[in-house]
Structure 1
Amino acid sequence: ENLSLLTLTSKAMRNLIEGYRVTRFAGLHGCSYKDIHGQLSVEQQAAMLNLYHKLGLLMKRSTCLYATKDRLKIVNEFLTRMACSNNSDICKDQSRCVALLCFGKFLHTVIAGWDDSECQRAFEAVCQHMCMPRYVKTVVASKPGSHCHLEATVRHFYRRIFLDPCITTPDKAFWITRILKPWPIVFQARLLYILYAGHFSSGAIQWHEMSETTPADKEHASLFFGSVSNILQILHLHSTEWSGDEILCIIDEMTGTPEDWLIENVAGLLLACGECIATKMLVSKAINGRFLELASIIASLCLVCVKHNYSLTQVMAMLDCILGVIDTPRARLTFLNRVLDTFRELILDTHEFTDADEGNDNEFFYHVSALTEFTKELAQLAYKQILSH
């Protein structure tokens, strides 16, 4: 830190420190790399991140007159020495290793204040240096789970270097856009799942989790949907590079990856994304005539709200918007009947298995409660004028 401050005093001092940096530290590489590849306590991790922040300042200030190309060359040399793949003898557990996080701290410190075009160059240089485009193409074009180690590598690389170190929301919007935009929508959805939606355990993405199980409670739901819904909200609210339709297409593709999610999980994701995105998604389905699917989602939204003690107010607001885009009164009535028919099917299906499996008692209760609450809301809307007097 003191050296980096001295570089600001004069050109001669900066040249002297730059020479010292290159020779003494072999290009900032004089620090030990073994420590960052081992398991560290929270305090040790914080100390390491602080160290690499200071190294980033030294690099930034001592090379301030260098061309961007030359600065990125030094950055990539630094990454080469830190990368887990080049330290496999000491990096035994990539999921717990903080090396990439430390490099991310270093990189973000170096490029702080750069304009977007220079940051784009930095992104491309670092990714190309580590062959990331090739790795991403392999995992998004292959059967999910067929390259577990490579999927984990992609997840750790992008999150720890570019996304996790972000301090501001616009920064995160910028970097996630750089990561996703080069790919077609189908691949964007799969890559987003790898980065945020899939539960990561035992060193692998749990691809079928969303198609096989639902969250038991509000806290579990946050683990399921919190991270990916946050990213979708960031793209929707803080990036001008994404249209509303693109975000809806990503959600539609992702909820069918690698096979259709359980409808309750689709509802859980929409609730986590917020009323604005959820309403646009549901209205889009209504415009495209996907009424059976829509009825199932509305019923599941009510179910999730009851399970997690949420108010049905926002669900009813969404329903109002849906009815607003359905052309005729007859079609609106048909749709409402489909929603109620869906509740009936859910209750009957659950009841069928209740005797055989006592664990379904709770599900039966939640389904009946969801129908009850939905009916109450409909009754209040239907008799609003009478009830207000």
Structure 2
Amino acid sequence: MDIKAFLPCKKPRRSNRLEVKEKHCAKTEEIKQGQLGYFSILPLELKFCILKYLRVEDLSILTITSKAMRNLIEGYRVLMPALQKDLVHRVHSQNKKQPLPLEKQSELIKRFHKLGLLMKRSTCLYSTKDRLRYVNDVLSKMMCSNASHCDNVAHCVSMTCFGRFLHTVIAGWDDCECQRTYESITSHICIMRNVKLVVNSKPGIHSKAESEIRTFFRRVFLDNCQSMQDKAFWLTQILKPWPMVQQARLIFLLYGPEVDEEVLWYELCENTPFNAEQSAKHFGDLANALQILNWYQQEWSSDDIVSILDELTSSPEEWLAENVAHLLILCGDTITTKMLASKAINGRIIELSGITTSFCVVCVKNSFSLSYVLVMIQHIVQAMDNSKDRLQFFNSVMDMFKELILDLHEFVDPEDGHENDMYYMVTALSEFTKKLIQMAFKATLSV
């Protein structure tokens, strides 16, 4: 028997200093291996105090360093929101006459871009439904209707800032998720009710609602698009649920000429642009929208574009032929050729002659070459089946010139500011005739 078993166990001698050192090293190693390192030692309140001194872009970068850091910053974002009252107060217009300077507007837009990055990264593991709930919360805070001090919606940058925020958050999302985003936002603020009211009413009756719709859709969904693909997608989301007539109405509502927050529905039915600058202002955005839809062939066919263009130029009344010509020239050869060929096939020769005459006038006014008109005429003639229609078309063009010149001579008042119209019309006829003669006697003149 071992007598040591009956003796008391004697503790081996060991230095207290070494024990403390070992515990300290073990604790240090445990902290280093932790998810937040030395930062995890601090209490939560102190962590939030430190995070408060970081910039928004720094916070967004920290969210992608680790899951633990993302959770911490997400908690900080929820409990101490970056979208504070003073920032919301600054984005709303407080002066009816003087909007925010461009530099301040740019700073605010950049700030919301950074906030969008923070939201995108901190909620990257959330479901689309939860992320959209946060987006709608931001929208509710930024709506001009919810701000008591917003005096001028047209000059307010709140929706522009929200648009940048939104596009930053949803960058890289699938089309189905973006479609859910559109449906969620529009239903959240009930704007589709106003859209239905406007498109089913006489143009101009609900001018305030028209301005709000134009401002919201353009600043939130369209103006912040970074590519043609994005713009085509959002424009399709806005237009597709409606019949063709309402689609044309909405395009004009979004991109037609506007003065003092009021869409000029009848301007293109009654007046023509004075110069190229005014022409670009009136028709540039409309033409660009039609070009984008024509490019987005997975949703829009050539017949769709022609139908929309036909409805657009006859709403709310028939446009002046010169305005139709202005729009077609800015739309480009592809859309113009399809439009004119469609009219030629359907036997609308009078309309074609009016547009052709106006093409000549527009080219003369803007110092364009009439070679463009001859190319369009060739497309029209090729679309006609028989020589009788072609002859009727050419005769109709010359008769249209004659009628317009006689009307200008008889009815135009020099005091109306249209004293140069006669000059442009006669010059257009002269240049057009020269081009036709050159084409007819090309072989003889080249000898």
Smaller-chain TM-score bracket: over 0.9
CA drift of 1:47 comes to 0.3
| 1:76 counterpart residue number | 136
Q: Is 2:400 the counterpart of 1:345? A: no
Q: What does residue 2 of structure 1 align with? A: 58
Aligned-pair distance for 1:354? 4.8
| CA apart distance, 1:30 | 5.4
* Aligned equivalents of 2:209, 2:428: Cα separation in 1: 42
Contact 1:4 1:58 in 2 (8 A): yes
Q: Deviations over 1:3-56 (max 9, x none)?
A: 11111111111111111100111x744552111112311100010001000100
Equivalent of 2:264, from 190, 206, 210?
206
Asked if residue 297 in structure 1 is aligned to residue 369 in structure 2, the reply is no
Could you tell me which residue of structure 2 aligns to residue 118 of structure 1?
Answer: 177
Q: Does 1:367 align with 2:422?
A: no
- The alpha-carbon distance between structure 1 residues 220 and 20, as it changes in their structure 2 partners (threshold 3 A), is same
CA distance in 2, matches of 1:236, 1:108: 23
Tell me which amino acid in the other structure corresponds to 1:130: I
Q: Does 1:12 align with 2:72?
A: no
Q: Which runs of 5+ in 1 are unaligned?
A: none
> Are 2:78 and 1:22 aligned?
yes
For 1:69-111, what per-residue CA distance to the aligned partner results, in whole angstroms no more than 9, with x for missing partners?
0000010011001011111x21111110000000000000000
Q: Which amino acid in the other structure matches residue 60 of structure 1?
A: K
**Partner Cα separation in structure 1 for residue 59 and residue 220 of structure 2:** 25
Distance 1:348 1:42, change over 3 A: same
Q: After the TM superposition, which parts of structure 1 deviate over 6 Å for at least 4 consecutive aligned residues? A: none
Q: Among 11, 17, 32, which residue is 2:87 paired with? A: 32
Give the CA deviation at 1:276: 1.3
Of the structure 1 ranges 346-355 and 202-211, higher mean CA displacement relative to structure 2 is found in 346-355
Aligned to 2:434: 376
d(CA) in 2 for partners of 1:224 and 1:375? Answer: 30
Q: Which residue of 1 aligns with 2:303?
A: 245
Compute the TM-score of the two structures, normalised by the length of structure 1: 0.97
**Cα displacement (A) at 1:203:** 2.0
Q: Which residue of 1 aligns with 2:120?
A: 60
Change (3 A) 1:100 1:239: farther
User: Which structure: larger Rg?
Assistant: 2
CA distance 1:355–1:123, change in 2 (3 Å): closer
Structure-1 residue corresponding to 2:214: 155
TM superposition shift of 1:143: 0.6
The reply on whether 1:146 has 2:201 as its aligned counterpart is no
What per-residue deviation string (whole Å, max 9, x for no partner) do you get for residues 216-252 of structure 1? 0111100010011011111112442100111111111
Instruction: Quote the residue 2:189 is aligned against.
Output: 130
Q: Report the 3-state secondary structure (helix = DSSP H, G, I; strand = E; otherwise coil) of the residue aligned with 2:263.
A: strand
Picking from 212, 237, 240, the partner of 1:178 is 237
Say whether residues 1:46 and 2:106 are aligned partners.
yes
Shift of 1:385: 1.3
Amino acid in the other structure paired with 1:155? R
User: CA–CA distance in 2 between the matches of 1:354 and 1:226?
Assistant: 28
Q: TM-score, normalised by structure 2?
A: 0.84
Between 1 and 2, higher relative CO (CA 8 Å, sep ≥ 6) is seen in 1
2:134 paired with 1:96: no
* Per-residue deviation, residues 165-200 of structure 1 (Å, max 9, x unmatched): 111111111111111111110000000000002x22
Secondary structure at 2:121's aligned position in 1?
helix
Q: Aligned to 1:327, what secondary structure does the other structure show? A: coil
| Preserved contact between residue 173 and residue 239 of structure 1 (Cα < 8 Å) | no
Determine the structure 2 residue equivalent to 1:216: 274
What CA deviation, in whole Å up to 9, does each residue of 1:289-330 have, x standing for no partner? 110111111001111111111111111111011111222222
% identical equivalent positions = 53
Aligned to 1:32, the other structure's residue is in SS state helix
Contact persistence 1:49–1:102 (CA under 8 A)? yes
For residues 72 and 388 of structure 2, the distance between their equivalents in structure 1, rounded to whole angstroms, comes to 82
